[in-house]
Every structure is written in structure tokens, then in C-alpha cells.
Amino acid sequence: MKRLALLIPLVILLVGCGGKSDTSGASNTTEGTTTMDCVIGGDKSKAELANLDESTTHEIVVDTNKGSFKFELATKTSPCTTASIAGLVQKGFFDGLTFHRIVPGFVIQGGDPAGNGSGGPGYSTVDAPPKDTQYVKGLVAMAKAGNEPAGTSGSQFFVVTGANVGLPPDYAVLGRVTEGLGVVEKIGALGDPNNPNGTPTERVEIKTMKLETR
């Protein structure tokens, strides 16, 4: 299960996390970062990393059945993670998946093809986050298993819905929400705070995820 054990009043919360976002881009080719450099586990042939131009801003639009939100990719902080996620987005990997875990006041988590916290894209990348990373509302980061190295990522991501959830700097930074934080908060309310598994009270489906560049 792609989760990190964290004790919050009355609930054991399990999830990965991330930190500071940035607005610069880092190419997986021009900056010397390649698929061979980024992929640390699984089947490298399944990894199709996007080439993110360092001179532009890259954002992901997440369209769900509860509304849409957008987040800017932290390409400088996490070149491998962002290139991997952007590549998966371009392949339509996330379309039709769900936010399978919702813990009010903590996080919403999605991106699992298995729908139960155990799935991924078949490979993993790594970008260890800065030591001063803080997990504040609107931060988007990557979940990982507790026995994986810091910054390990597959496809499961989460958005922080609490003011500052106090997670340790162990999880790759994906970005930060720039539009639609109200939608994130709306989704974040669709969980039972007394359910340690974070099972949603309603189905929250990702209709599409799209990459935008400006």
C-alpha cells in the first residue's frame, strides 16, 4: 500500500507527501536527466518521460466529476517525478481513475489504477525532497510505501487539504494548486474522519488529466 503511517486525532493516516513547488522547467534531456537516470525500479520500458522545456511553465488540469482544479509542476525541484507524471498524463493513464482515499483535513489521494492504494505504472522514479519541505494546503506530492527510499514515486499522488499536516520531508514534490482550491476542499470533505482507511463517502472520478504549457 502506498501509504505513510501518521497519527492524527482518532485516525491513523497513511500517505506520501511533498514540499515546495517552483515555476521553472527542467528537461529530461537538455538538463542531462534521462529515463535511465530517473527510473530506479520496475520495468524501464514502461516509462515514457515527457520532455519539459525549462523556459516554460507546465501545469496539469485535473477534471473530475466534482469539478476541476489545476496545479503547477515543480519541475526544478523534482525533474524526474514531474517528467514521469507528465508522460503518464500524455498517455491518458489517469483518465477514469479515482481519488480512492480521502481524509478530511489531511489529504485527497488518487492515481492508482488498482483503486485501493496498491497500484502504479509499473516503474518508479525518485526525487528526494528538500529537507525544509512543508506539507501545506494546496501542495501536490507523491505517495510511497514506507520501505521505499525518500522521494520514490509511482503514479499515486495526493493534494494536502489541511493547513500544515506536519509530514516529514520523505516524499517527492509534484507541485502546488494554482486554480480550483475550492474544488479540492469540496472533494476533501467527501471522507469519513473516523475511517482509518480514508474510504470516500462518494465516488470521485478523474475524468481527464491534461498537460498545459505557457
Angle at 163 between CA 200 and CA 189, to 5 degrees: 20
Domain layout of the chain by residue ranges: 5-213
pTM of the model: 0.86
Give mean pLDDT, residues 6-19: 35
Please state which CATH class domain 5-213 belongs to: mainly beta
pLDDT digits (tens, 9 = 90+) for 124-161: 999 999 999 999 999 999 999 999 999 999 999 999 99
Please give the mean pLDDT across all residues of the chain. 87
Give the 3-state secondary structure of residue 174: strand
Higher pLDDT, 7 or 168: 168
Q: What would the pLDDT profile of 66-111 be if each residue is shown by its tens digit?
A: 999 999 999 999 999 999 999 999 999 999 999 999 999 999 999 9
CA–CA separation, 142 vs 8, rounded Å?
20
| Cβ-Cβ contacts under 8 Å for 157 (sequence gap 6 or more) | 85, 109, 110, 111, 140, 141, 142, 143, 174
pLDDT at residue 53 in the model: 86
Give the model's pLDDT for residue 30: 31
Rounded average pLDDT over 9-37: 42
